[in-house]
Amino acid sequence: MPQQIAVVTGAGTGVGRAVALELAAAGWQLVLAGRRAEPLHETARLSGGTTAVVPTDITDARAVKALFDESAERFGRVDLLFNNAGTFGTPTPVEELDPAEWRAVVDLNLTGSFLCAQAAFRLMKAQDPQGGRIINNGSISAHVPRPHSIAYTATKHAVTGLTRSLSLDGRPYRIACGQIDIGNAATDMTAAMSRGVRQADGRIAVEPTMDVADVARTVRHMAELPLEANVQFATVMATAMPYIGRG
């Protein structure tokens, strides 16, 4: 496979770091984006490959433009965007959710994902050879909610619409877009699973988790398909988690 270039957002921790390391091990060159420089540099160190570290607030359109401008200037093109950065927010009953908290989750999970996808789309459409792939990080919550997760769940349903529209609008330009919906990968974000989380019936229960490396291998598979093939939606989850039959 010729050298390929991937932009990974939220690359300093969790799923983003795991995917970055998996791609680096497969020979990809990486552009690592996230709010905090220190974790990004640690991911770069662990990757042992060719990386660019670009601290980026993906809710800022100018910062996102600068991220992709730097990617193009350094590597000449972008073959993959893993649109991963996001937040769950604070679990809060609907009637108590502060509108500012709602906006913060929407700005990061939805608007940030759109801005990165838009910038990647522009670059992939213009580059030669034309085309590339965008993989959006959805969630099990793109299908069914958890209690007290209205902002997160609404944004992840919206990410599915983003994925579908990008898939359709990208067809003429060899831009493929897919989505990975992840359930209970073991990261800092899901650490509460081992202590117990609220269920649909109000109980607090411990939930099974899976190795985040299994997510990373799935993303790599999606990323390395030829552009004539696409995994439109993939669900990767801890086998015994309460999803099938949840509630």
Judge whether 3 and 26 are in contact, CB under 8 Å. Answer: no
Active site members: 152
**pLDDT tens string 177-207:** 999 999 988 887 777 777 888 888 888 888 8
Give the max Cα distance, the chain.
Answer: 55
- The confidence band for 230, taking pLDDT boundaries of 50, 70 and 90, is very high
The mean pLDDT of 133-151, rounded to a whole number, is 94
What separation in angstroms does the CA of 86 have from each of 13, 172, 246? 11, 29, 23
Q: Which residues 6+ apart lie within 8 Å of 37 measured at CB?
A: 53, 55
> Is residue 153's pLDDT more than 80?
yes
Does residue 129 have a cis peptide bond before it, meaning omega lies within 30 degrees of 0?
Answer: yes
Residue 54 pairs in a beta bridge with: 33
Element holding 83 (H helix, E strand) = strand 80-83
Structure confidence at residue 156 (pLDDT): 97
Element holding 31 (H helix, E strand) = strand 29-34
What separation in angstroms does the CA of 6 have from each of 19, 52, 136, 223? 10, 10, 13, 9
* Residue ranges of domains in the chain, CATH in brackets: 5-237 (3.40.50.720)
- Computed from CA positions of residues 9, 11, 13, 16, in that sequence, does the dihedral angle turn out positive or negative? positive
User: Residue 78 gets which letter from DSSP?
Assistant: -
The mean pLDDT of 121-132, rounded to a whole number, is 98
> Is residue 155's pLDDT more than 90?
yes
Tell me the whole-structure pTM to 2 decimals.
Answer: 0.93
> Is residue 238's pLDDT more than 70?
yes
Structure confidence at residue 75 (pLDDT): 96
